[in-house]
């Protein structure tokens, strides 16, 4: 299941208005913004939209975060849901073993939330993957036996 996607755009206000209007019929809403001045270097200002389940605690929701496009920027940023810290660790290890590049080892990302445990990997083409476990989310899929 996808957790979030970053979309790099050239005009934040215009794009935020567009995505808010376009996704409203699907139950999406403007979520708010993240001011990068409170976080580590390299994390951009973010402007979010979310589906109705996001943050509800009753289902795993999805979000889109708009960020200012930088000159020459390419690639996609996709966050995948993990149901535990162990899953985050396992995906990170598998991605590195498969030739991915680390962009952040598994750890708590308190600048997003105290229960936000994530790892970041880049593929061969500059696409960015984040594997994230949020303790406030219910399981995203049935437990394996």
Give me the average pLDDT of each 10-residue run along the chain (145 residues).
83 88 80 88 89 83 88 80 90 89 94 91 81 79 58
Asked whether residue 54 is assigned to any structural domain, the reply reads yes
Asked whether residue 128 is assigned to any structural domain, the reply reads yes
Per-residue H/E/C for 5-57:
EEEEECCHHHHHHHHHHHHHHHCCEEEEEECHHHCCCCCCCEEEEECCCCCCC
- Give the chain's domain count: 1
Q: Please give the residue range of the domain that contains residue 68.
A: 2-134
pTM score of the predicted model: 0.66
What CATH number is given to the structural domain containing 111? 3.10.180.10
- Structure confidence by residue, pLDDT tens digits, 31-62: 989 998 988 888 889 999 998 888 888 887 88
Asked whether residue 145 is assigned to any structural domain, the reply reads no
Asked whether residue 141 is assigned to any structural domain, the reply reads no
Asked whether residue 105 is assigned to any structural domain, the reply reads yes
Please compute, for residue 69, the number of CA atoms within 13 A of its CA located in the half-sphere on the CB side: 14
- What does the pLDDT read at residue 117? 96
Asked whether residue 143 is assigned to any structural domain, the reply reads no
- What does the pLDDT read at residue 140? 67
Asked whether residue 139 is assigned to any structural domain, the reply reads no
């Amino acid at each position: 299941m996808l957790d979030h996607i970053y979309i790099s755009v050239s005009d934040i206000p215009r794009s935020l208005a567009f995505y808010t209007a376009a996704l409203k019929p699907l139950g999406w809403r403007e979520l708010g913004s993240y001011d990068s001045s409170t976080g580590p270097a390299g994390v951009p200002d973010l402007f979010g939209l979310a589906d109705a389940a996001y943050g509800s605690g009753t289902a795993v929701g999805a979000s889109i975060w708009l960020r200012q496009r930088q000159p020459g920027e390419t690639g996609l940023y996709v966050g995948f849901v993990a149901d535990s810290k162990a899953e985050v660790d396992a995906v990170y290890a598998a991605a590195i073993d498969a030739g991915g590049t680390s962009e952040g080892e598994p750890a708590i990302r308190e600048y997003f939330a105290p229960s936000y445990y994530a790892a970041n990997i880049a593929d061969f083409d500059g696409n960015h993957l984040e594997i994230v476990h949020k303790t406030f989310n219910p399981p995203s899929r049935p437990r394996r036996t």
